[in-house]
Amino acid sequence: MQKTEVSPTRAAEIIPGGVNSATRAIGEPWMFVSAHGAKMTDVHGRDYIDYHAAFGAILLGHSDERVTAAVDDASRRMGLAGLGITELELQLAELVVDAIPSAEMVISTMSGSESVLQAIRLARGTTGRHYIVKFQGCFHGSFDAVARNVISAPDRAYGWDPNSTGILHEALSHTLIAEFNDLASVEELFRQNGDEIAAVIVEPVPHNVGTLLPDPEFLRGLRELTRSHGSLLIFDEVITGFRHALGGYQELCGITPDLTTFGKAMGNGFPVAGLAGSREVMSNFSPAGGSVMLAGTFNGNSASTAAAIATIGVLSDPAVGFYDHVRTLGDRMRDGMRSITRELGIPAVVTGLGSVFVTYFLEGEVRGYRDLQRNNDHAYAKFHRKMTDAGFLMYPMALKRNHISLAHTEDDIDRTLDAAADVLASMCIAGDFETGDLKS
C-alpha cells in the first residue's frame, strides 16, 4: 500500500476542506496522532493540554483504559447483532432509566443529532402538530428542522438565519425562535400558534454559546406553559447530560421534561447517544405498536453500548468522585480567570458550570443571546487562538465553551492560568480590549 502523504494540502484534495466536519478546521494544529488523559499530540510531536475535549465528548480523559477495555471485550464477543436485543443494550437502558428523572423508557442512537431528529418526529407524531419552538443561540445538531438561528449576526438574530443552504424552506419555517430566559417571548409564540406547537426544545444550559445559566423560573415556566397547551417539553441534554450530574441538568434543577436527548460525553469519545421520556410518549415508536418510525442499523451496537456502560460506571463510582473533582477544578479555573481579568482591567464575564468554563469579553449581565451580542468576538477568538498556540487546546471561535475532564489536574489548571495571564497581558498591550467587536 502506498504511504499517505501527510499534509493539509493532500487532505484538502480528497476531503472537502481537509476535514470531515466544518468546525474541525482551526488551522494549526491541523492533524493529531495520539491522545491520552488530558493531553493530545499533533503530527509534529507537540503536546497540548486539551480543553476542547471533542466538543465535550471526552469526560474521563482521552483513551480511558476502563472504557477502551470494555469496548475491546464487547467487540471480541459480538460486533453487531442487527436483530433482537443484546444484554448490553438492556443493561445500558436500565442505567439510563435509573439515572435520568424523565426516563421511563429509552432508545439508543449514534449521535445527538439523531436523538433530536427522533425527539422532534416523536413530538409531532404524538401531538399531530407541526410547529417547534427553539431558542436563539441553542444548537440541536444538523437535523433540518432545527438547523437555524445559532450564532447569528445581529441583523439576522431572531429572524431568518438558516445554518445551511440545501434545506427546504418549509422544514425551517415550522421552527419558531424565542429568547432564552425570556418567558414572555415564548408566551407570545404560544399566543399566536398555541394549538399548532408540538414541542419546545431547549438546552437547559445553552452551552453552544458558552454558558447561559437559566433562571429557575424560566424553566419552570416552560414546563407549565407546554403542559397547559398540550405541547411537549424537550430538554436537549446532549452536552449537559452526564457532564453536570448523572441525571443531567434536570436532576439539578428539579424540572422533568417529557423527552430528553442525551449523548456526547456518555461514551467518552465513542459514538453513542439516546432519547428518553415518559412511557406514554415513548410508546408511540413503531416497535411498541405506535406510528413513529424507529430505525438504525448501528443503534445499540456492542462497542458503543459497552463504552457508555463503562463511562457511567466511572461517573457513578463514589471512590472516583468525578463530579467533585471537575467542579473543584472548574471553580479553580473560573476564580483564576476572574482574578486575572480584574487585575488587568479587562471587561469580562467569567462563567460556566461544573466542568465547563468560558470567558466572555463584555460588561454587564449575561442572561440571553441579546447580551452576547455585546461580546468582543475579535478578542475572544484571538485569546483562544493564542492559548492554543501556547499549548492549551481551545476552540478559536467566539462563544465556545471549554471542558475539564477527570484526567485534568490542579497543575494543569495552574499552568493554564499562568499562560492566560501572559496572553491577556499581551492583548492589553496590543489594544485588543479598547473597543468592542459586535458580530457582523
Q: Residue 437's pLDDT is what? A: 47
Q: Which residue has the cell 465535550?
A: 56
E-assigned strands of 354-421?
A: 356-360, 392-393, 402-403
Per the CB < 8 A criterion, the answer to whether 353 and 204 are in contact is no
Long-range contacts, 117-120 (Cβ 8 Å, 24+): 117/141, 117/143, 117/145, 118/275, 118/294, 119/199, 119/201, 119/234, 119/259, 119/261, 119/275, 119/277, 120/145, 120/146, 120/198, 120/199, 120/201, 120/234
Top CATH class of 65-315 equals alpha beta
Q: Residue 3's pLDDT is what? A: 66
Nearest-CA neighbor of 144 among 175, 123, 122?
175
CA–CA dist 22, 244 (Å, integer): 27
Q: CB-based contacts of 15: which residues, under 8 Å, 6+ apart?
A: none
Per the CB < 8 A criterion, the answer to whether 352 and 358 are in contact is yes
Mean pLDDT, consecutive 10-residue segments, the chain of 440 residues? 75 83 82 95 96 96 97 91 90 97 97 96 97 96 91 92 92 96 98 96 97 96 98 98 97 97 94 97 96 93 96 98 98 98 97 97 95 95 96 92 98 98 97 66
Between the CA of residue 98 and those of 5, 86, 266, what are the distances in Å? 49, 19, 14
Structural domain spans, the chain: 31-63+321-429, 65-315
The sign of the torsion formed by the CA atoms of 405, 409, 415, 418 equals: positive
CA–CA dist 434, 79 (Å, integer): 57
Q: Could you tell me how many residues make up the chain? A: 440
Q: Residue 438's pLDDT is what? A: 45
Q: CB-based contacts of 391: which residues, under 8 Å, 6+ apart?
A: 46, 47, 48, 49, 419
Q: Residue 266's pLDDT is what? A: 94
Architecture of the structural domain at 31-63+321-429: Alpha-Beta Complex (3.90)
Q: Residue 435's pLDDT is what? A: 63
Q: What is the 3-state secondary structure (H, E, C) of 44-97?
A: CCCEEEECCHHHHCCCCCECCHHHHHHHHHHHHHCCCCCCCCCHHHHHHHHHHH
**Is the whole model's pTM more than 0.75, yes or no?**
yes
Q: Is 139 helix (H, G, I), strand (E, B) or coil?
A: coil
